[in-house]
Amino acid sequence: MRIFIIQRLSAIALVVFLSLHMIVVHYPPGHLDFSRVLERLADPFWKAIDIAFLFSVLLHALAGTYAVLTDIERVTPLKRILAGVLVVLGIIGAVYGTYTVLSFQPPASMLIVH
């Protein structure tokens, strides 16, 4: 039952984050160029949003995969191993994605106020 609840809560978070992503990145007012993307990625608020989006995607995907693996039959040792591998891959993805977002630094030329 916990997996079911996690799957549903992460789906709600994904709807919110995906809607925000689509509005900000794909349908912005005016022209979206690389300098605006750099501005957004330099802002700690947007870094937090991107990390939360990443965690929601990973949580939703892992919970869904685990539900599929354990849904039909009782949990066998092979399914437990596969679920463990997926959890490890999810943790690696979360750490790598978080490190990538947090380590982004805007170019020095962006720091100069015109």
Query: pLDDT digit string (tens) for 15-37?
Result: 999 999 888 888 877 777 777 77
The Cα–Cα gap between 4 and 60 comes to: 10
Lowest mean pLDDT across 6-15, 18-27, 73-82: 73-82
- Domains of the chain as residue ranges with CATH: 2-111 (1.20.1300.10)
The Cα–Cα gap between 26 and 95 comes to: 26
pTM over cut 0.75: yes
The Cα–Cα gap between 108 and 49 comes to: 24
In 3-state terms, what secondary structure has residue 58?
A: helix
Computed over its alpha carbons, how large is the radius of gyration of the chain?
A: 18
